[in-house]
Amino acid sequence: MMFYKLRLKLTLINVSIILLLFLLLTAGTYYYSRGEIVRRSEAISNRLLANIQTGIIHDLPLRNGPPVPPMLTGPSSPRRDIPPDVPPGPNFFFVKTTSSGEILFHSSNLPLIAAELTLLVKDALRENKLQGTVYIGKSEYPYQRALLEQEAGFIILFQDFTRENDLLRIQLTALTFTGLICLILSFFGSFFMAHRAMIPIQTAWRQQKDFLSDASHELRTPLTVIQTNLDVVMTNHTETVASQTKWLNNIQEESVNMTKIVDSLLFLARADSNQQLLDMQLFSLNHALVQAATPFEPLAAAKDITIELSAKTALTSYGDEMRIKQVICILIDNAIRHTSSGGKISIQLSQVNKETLLTVTDSGEGIEAKHIDKIFDRFYQVDTSRSKGGSGLGLAIAKLIIENHHGYIQVSSCPGAGTIFIIHLP
């Protein structure tokens, strides 16, 4: 439920951002388009008004007929009163008035009835400005005004802005409709992407919960043993220290186990926080292998297990010697714990092309195929009863160390036929 709410919240935030950007885009497009139309209209109005004022243009007729062919131009050709850059249709029209506002003349392409024209002229003259905008209902009529040169009065050039407003309204409607569709699609797309983005978060959250649960379990066991043995010691007030050796040894052994678990947890925590884990330098792999394997010989001998080392070539590696030894110890310790009495563990160091291979083979119980992909997970153990010891952190740490050396670990196993771990180092 928590992740569903978070996914929905992320979706709504994303859709809100998209909606805000869309509104900004729509408003920007609308006002830019309107500004361009107004700017171009004003430029045309200035030219038209100047030409009307000087007498170059006498009228603005309706433009329903075909354009005048070039071959007919000349003294006898029909007069073209309108410059070619004026857009077709009854956009611009003008009137000439007396000083008192009486209409003396209006252009032929008048789109209004007489009463409406009178109202427009009255409003334009009432405004004490040379240019502005007047309205009839919802229709918008920008105007420019100038004095008549031959007599007292005014020339008022109007523009019927209805067509431009209709075009802008169509543009705004198209943008709104398209935006709504995109917004709906973005909601589902954002919800899907939020779901995909939440998968690793859910995985990490689940791993963290499992990690805390397993860590608590691993630490609780030695703590319980320590507490139990301490209770035994504390109840024997008259006994000497020597007589309590059994219980004190148990406490010491579990304290060592706890220390190992805590060290492993700290190592993994530093790795998760991207802290520097390795002290890189050149070292002898052969020497490191012998040093790591030698301490396990008495433990192997106690279980009647044979350990064989094979290193035909002296190999030098660049890495953290202590951590490589730790990996070798983890693999040998696992091999001893899962190999029966009379078994054999073989450790081979070799070089193939530009890779160094460290192979650890045992004749133990093997691992079922369903566990192979999980044995490197933290706290994962094939033996759920944990009767063979171990905390389930060793292989996870080994994999992490090898990957930090830019290498990788391969494992192959067959139940009853043993297991092979191969470490590849560059």
**Separation between Cα atoms, residue 424 and residue 305, nearest integer Å:** 26
Q: How far is CA 51 from the centre of its chain?
A: 61
Numbered ranges of CATH 3.30.450 in the chain: 2-60+88-169
- Average pLDDT over every residue of 230-246: 79
Q: Report the alpha-carbon distance of residue 76 to residue 180 in Å, rounded.
A: 58
Q: What average pLDDT does this structure show over 9-34?
A: 88
The pLDDT of residue 72 is above 70: no
Q: Which fold has domain 2-60+88-169?
A: Beta-Lactamase (3.30.450)
Task: Indicate the pTM of the whole model.
Answer: 0.50
What residues does CATH 3.30.565.10 cover in the chain?
A: 281-425
- The CATH number corresponding to 281-425 among 3.30.565.10, 3.30.470.20, 3.40.30.10, 3.90.740.10 equals 3.30.565.10
Per residue in 35-63, pLDDT tens?
Answer: 888 888 888 888 888 888 888 888 887 65
- End-to-end C-alpha distance for the chain, whole angstroms: 46
Q: Are 334 and 361 in contact (CB under 8 A)?
A: no
Instruction: Give the length of the chain.
Output: 426
Q: How far is it, in rounded angstroms, from Cα 403 to Cα 409?
A: 8
Helix 162-235 to helix 245-272 angle (10° resolution) is 170
CA distance linking residue 57 with residue 122, whole number of Å: 24
Tokens encoding 325: 């030894």
Q: Residue 185: what pLDDT? A: 87
Convert the pLDDT of each residue in 124-150 to its tens digit.
888 778 888 888 888 888 999 888 877
pLDDT single digits (tens) 182-194 = 888 888 888 888 7
